[in-house]
């Protein structure tokens, strides 16, 4: 099997929690070098990945001819500049979500990748969540009939401001809309395509916060209304997914179990039954189809974050089509821009 050397730029939460464990669990990928300067993160790299080279200069990865694939896991506002450097160095590039802070920046990267004939994608790992894969299965089954409402939540409870983090500094590209919102938007676009209009209410609710920490978006698809919500002051668990059709409904509580497993230091290649949800997290369907009534639990599909990297690997060697296309990721950023415009102008905005 062909081995592809990977350079990881950044070992903060994204690099440490998601990229490191999934890269090293993917056949054909070798976590060759990591750029990191913080001592606690360097200690983790040495402990978990003793064969990985640690560098403190981005150029030591960009200029390494043995590295084919670079992951940009730097602060959001730097994604465009760093990904540009990586593409100019003739590397394939994965950018952590959100892709960029403007759709114009995203277009520039897409055009550059095409001119260099290099793969460019965005880490939309939540397409491989257990619950989202289950939602896709339920929708594709047509058991709910014609859909009229789809509602998805990403709820958190943290009523304090994290100190010393760029995620709380209030510049363009920070805040819950870019962070968790980019996942919800991507999932909606995967399921339903581009909306006709976007409407949004964006709020800053926590004391002393400078970022958007609560959002509600409505994407209009004609007869189907898609509502996407997220907040930082949600103490009580709300449904993660609500899907309503003219035949019935599907409701799902609880979050995908992979992030929690990664937080405890587990990894896909070291864990049996990776991504499998316990029965208490399975969603409930209540529907009537062809005269047959059904109400009960729907077994969750297994989550599989490694699936993202497996697809990237196969796309690089020419054995598969890229699943997370950069144009799709640009559309996510465009929806965010229209949401901000909608909030400012207090009106629905046509998707353009």
Chain segment 34-68, per-residue pLDDT in tens: 999 999 999 999 999 999 999 999 999 999 999 99
pLDDT of residue 141: 94
pLDDT of residue 182: 97
Closest CA relative to residue 6, chosen from 57, 56, 72: 72
pLDDT of residue 164: 77
| Whether residue 153 has pLDDT greater than 80 | yes
pLDDT of residue 74: 96
Domain boundaries of the chain, sorted by first residue:
4-123, 126-307+335-350
Is residue 127 very low, low, confident or very high in pLDDT (cuts 50, 70, 90)? Answer: very high
Non-local (6+) Cβ contacts of 215 within 8 A are: 176, 177, 181, 200, 201, 202, 203, 228, 229, 230, 231, 339
Does this model's pTM top 0.85? My answer is: yes
Chain segment 161-191, per-residue pLDDT in tens: 988 788 888 888 999 999 999 999 999 999 9
Provide the token pair at 229: 């919500």
Q: What is the pLDDT of the chain when averaged over all its residues?
A: 96
Query: Residues of 312-348 as b/e, b for ≥16 C-beta within 10 angstroms?
Result: bbebbeeeeeebbebebbbbbbbbbebbbebbeeeee
CB atoms within 10 A of CB 145: 14
pLDDT of residue 290: 82
What fold characterizes domain 4-123?
Rossmann fold (3.40.50)
pLDDT of residue 155: 92
Q: What is the percent of the chain where pLDDT is above 70?
A: 100
Task: Give the dihedral sign, CA 317/318/323/326.
Answer: positive
pLDDT of residue 167: 83
CB 175 within 8 A of CB 213: yes
Residue range 111-139: mean pLDDT, rounded: 98
Provide the token pair at 310: 């497996």
Same topology for domains 4-123 and 126-307+335-350, yes or no?
no
Chain segment 57-96, per-residue pLDDT in tens: 999 999 999 999 999 999 999 999 999 999 999 999 999 9
Class of domain 126-307+335-350: alpha beta
pLDDT of residue 165: 84
């Amino acid at each position: 099997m062909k081995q592809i050397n990977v350079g990881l730029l950044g070992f903060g939460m994204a690099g440490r929690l998601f990229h490191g464990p999934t890269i090293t669990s993917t056949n054909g990928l070798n976590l060759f070098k990591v750029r990191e300067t913080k001592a606690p993160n360097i200690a983790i790299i040495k402990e978990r990945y003793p064969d990985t080279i640690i560098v403190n200069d981005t150029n030591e990865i960009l200029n390494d001819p043995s590295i084919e694939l670079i992951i940009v896991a730097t602060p959001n506002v730097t994604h465009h500049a760093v990904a540009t450097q990586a593409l100019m160095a003739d590397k394939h590039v994965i950018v952590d979500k959100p892709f960029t802070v403007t759709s114009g920046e995203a277009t520039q990267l897409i055009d550059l990748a095409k001119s260099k004939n290099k793969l460019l994608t965005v880490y939309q790992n939540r397409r491989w969540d257990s619950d989202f894969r289950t939602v896709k299965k339920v929708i594709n089954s047509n058991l709910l009939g014609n859909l009229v409402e789809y509602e998805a939540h990403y709820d958190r409870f943290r009523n304090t401001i994290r100190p010393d983090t760029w995620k709380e500094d209030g510049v363009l590209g920070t805040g819950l809309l870019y962070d968790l919102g980019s996942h919800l938007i991507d999932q909606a676009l995967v399921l339903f395509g581009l909306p006709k209009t976007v409407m949004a209410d964006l709020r800053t609710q926590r004391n002393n916060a400078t970022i958007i920490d609560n959002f509600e978006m409505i994407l209009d698809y004609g007869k189907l209304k898609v509502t996407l919500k997220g907040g930082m002051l949600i103490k009580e668990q709300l449904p993660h997914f609500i899907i309503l059709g003219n035949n019935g409904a599907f409701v799902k509580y609880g979050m995908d179990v992979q992030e929690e497993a990664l937080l405890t230091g587990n990894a896909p290649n070291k864990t049996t039954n990776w991504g499998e949800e316990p029965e208490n997290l399975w969603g409930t369907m209540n529907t009537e189809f062809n005269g047959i009534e059904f109400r009960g639990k729907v077994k969750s599909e297994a989550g599989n974050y490694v699936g993202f990297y497996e697809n990237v690997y196969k796309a690089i060697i020419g054995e598969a089509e890229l699943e997370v296309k950069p144009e799709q990721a640009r559309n996510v950023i465009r929806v965010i821009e229209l949401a901000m415009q909608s909030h400012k102008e207090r009106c629905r905005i046509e998707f353009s």
